[in-house]
Amino acid sequence: MKLNLMKKAAIGSVLFSTVAMGMILYLSAGKVITISDVAQDEVHRDVLSGQQGSDMKEQALTFVLGEADTSYLRIPLPEECRAEDIVIENHYMDQELCVIVKNTDSAFYESNAISGNREMVRQGSFEESKEGVRLRFMLTDIFEYRTILENNDLYVSFLSPREMYDKIVVIDPACGGSNTGYGTGNIYEKKINLQIAQKLKEKLDKTDIKAYYTRMDDVNPEEEERVELANGTRADMYIRIQMDWNQDESLYGTTVVYNGDYFIPGFGSVELADLLERSVVTDIKGKALGLEEAGTEEYAIKHITIPAAAIKAGCLSNKQEAILLGREDYQEKIASGIYNAIIQVYEEMKIN
C-alpha cells in the first residue's frame, strides 16, 4: 500500500511539474520574443553615410551601468513598440550595429538611457530618420548578436562569429567605387567582380556556411579593412574575386594568386588556390594559367593569416575573353566554380 502511494505521489509530482512548465512557457511566450528580422549583407555602407544630412541631427546615447543583466546590453523601447517595429542591421565592415525603432522620435532616447553590459560598445548615438529613430552602436570588434524583446526592453548579447557559426568564409570582390580596376570599352572589373560575388551569395545563402562580404555595392573598402574582416572573423578561408590584364592581348585564362608565406599542414593557401583554379576552369571550360605566389603589391593576400587566395577569372586585355566576362551566364559559371571549390574544401579537407 505504501509503495502504491509513493508511486501515485511521484506520478502526480511529474504531472504537476509538466503542467506548471507548460503554463510558464505559455505565459512567457507573450512576453519574450526573439527578434529575427535581421538585415545583413544587403545594407550598403554608402546608404548610412548618405542619411547623415543636415536635417538629421545625431546625438550621443546615454549609458547607465548596472540596470540590466550583465550579459546583455539593454535598450529601452516605447510602450507601444512591437517586434515588427524593430529592424536590426549588422554593418560588420564598419564594426557597427544599427537598431531602427520605427514610429518613435528622438525625445524618447533623450530621456531614456541604455544600460547593462557595454563592454563591446565603444560609443553610441541616435538620430531621427524617415523610419523612426536609428540607434548606432560603434563596436570594439566584429560581432554577431542575439536579441530578446521582453516587455519594453530589447536585450542584445554580442558573440564572436566563431561562437555563432561553424563554417565561415570571406568573399572579397576587388576594386569598387572610384577604383574601377581594369577595363575595356564599357566593361569594368569592379562591376564584374561584384556581379560574380552576388551570384555566389545566392548559392551560399542556401547552405549552412556563413559568408561575409567586403562589399555588396559600388564602394571601395580600404585594403586594411578587407584584411581585418578576414582575420577578425577567423574565417576558414578568404577568396578574392578579381580580373587580370596582360600586355600580350592574345593571352587569356585563369590565374590564382596565393600567400606563399602562410602555411598550415593539410589545408592552406596553396591547396585553396589549386582547388579554386581547377574548379572554376572546369565550370567555364577555360584555360588554366597556373598558380602564382603573391607579391608585395597583393597587400590583402600577403597580410591575411588564414588560407587566402585571389582568383583572376580572366584577362580583360583579351577582347574575346572580356566579352565573355561581361556576360551574366559566364559570370554564373565562375560563381558556380568558386562555390564548388568552397563545398569541396568542407567535404574533402574536413577543416571543420
Q: What is the pLDDT of residues 38-76, one digit of tens each?
A: 444 543 454 444 444 435 578 999 998 765 557 899 999
From residue 331, give the alpha-carbon distance in Å to each of 84, 313, 321. Answer: 37, 9, 12
Q: What's the CA gap between 8 and 128, in Å, rounded? A: 62
| pLDDT at residue number 351 | 64
Residues of the chain with CATH 3.40.630.40: 163-349
What pLDDT score was predicted for residue 18? 44
| pLDDT of amino acid 154 | 96
Alpha-carbon span 93 to 40, nearest angstrom? 11
Residue 254: the pLDDT is 98
Q: How many CB atoms lie within 10 A of CB 285?
A: 7
Q: Which residues contact 44 (CB under 8 A, 6 or more apart)?
A: 216, 217, 219
Q: Which superfamily, per CATH, for 163-349?
A: Zn-dependent exopeptidases (3.40.630.40)
Share of residues in the chain with pLDDT > 90 (%): 74
Query: How far is residue 352's CA from residue 347's CA, in Å, rounded to a whole number?
Result: 9
Whole-number Å distance between alpha carbons of 41 and 266: 31
Q: What is the pLDDT of residue 34?
A: 52
Burial per residue of 181-200, b for 16 or more beta-carbon CB atoms within 10 angstroms, e otherwise: bbbbeebbbbbbbbbbbebb
Looking at residue 275, what is its pLDDT? 96
Total residue length of the chain: 352
pLDDT at 66: 61
List, for the chain, all residue ranges whose pLDDT scores fall below the cut of 70.
1-56, 66-69, 350-352
Per-residue pLDDT at 17: 43
